[in-house]
Amino acid sequence: MLSTFDPPYYAVIFSSVRREADTAYDEMTLHMAQRTQAMPGYLGAESYRLPDGSGVTISYWRTLEDVQYWRSDMQHRAAQDQGRAQWYSSYRIRVCRVAYDYGFDEAGQLL
C-alpha cells in the first residue's frame, strides 16, 4: 500500500504479537477492517503478519480527532478487549503525525 496523501495526516502503528490463529480472529479482523474503512477520516491501511506471530497494521487518518473517534468506537473497543483476553500476547499502538513523505513508484518517478 504505497498510496500518497497530502500531509499532515496521521498514522496509527499497531504492532502486535499474536498467540495463535483461529477462525474467530480472522472473522474479527475482516469485520474490523471493513468497519475501519467506513470511519470518518480514514485514508488507507497496510498490514503484515510473519509466521512467528509478530505483525503490524498501519492505518492512516486525516486528523487526530478521526483517530480518537475510531479509538472510542464501541465495536472497536470490544474487539480490543477480546484481543487482550484471547488473541494477542502483547501489542503497542503508536499514534503519529506524518510530517512529510516521499517515495518512488513503478514508473521510476520520485514522488
Does 79 bind a second copy (CB under 8 A)? Our answer is no
Q: Kindly determine how many residues on this chain lie close enough to bind a second copy according to the rule CB under 8 A.
A: 40
Tell me how far apart the alpha carbons of residues 23 and 87 are, in angstroms, rounded to a whole number: 11
Does 98 bind a second copy (CB under 8 A)? Our answer is yes
Does 74 bind a second copy (CB under 8 A)? Our answer is no
Does 20 bind a second copy (CB under 8 A)? Our answer is no
Q: Which of 39, 43, 64, 79 binds a second copy (CB under 8 A)?
A: 64
Report yes or no: 49 and 58 within 8 Å, Cβ to Cβ: no
Peptide bond into 40 cis (omega under 30): no
Does 46 bind a second copy (CB under 8 A)? Our answer is yes
In the complex with a second copy, the residue whose CB is nearer, 38 or 48, is: 48
**Nearest to residue 28, comparing CAs of 66, 69, 85, 83?**
83
Report yes or no: 53 and 2 within 8 Å, Cβ to Cβ: no
Binding site for a second copy (CB under 8 A): 1-4, 11, 13, 15-17, 46, 48-50, 54-56, 58, 64, 84, 88-106, 108, 111
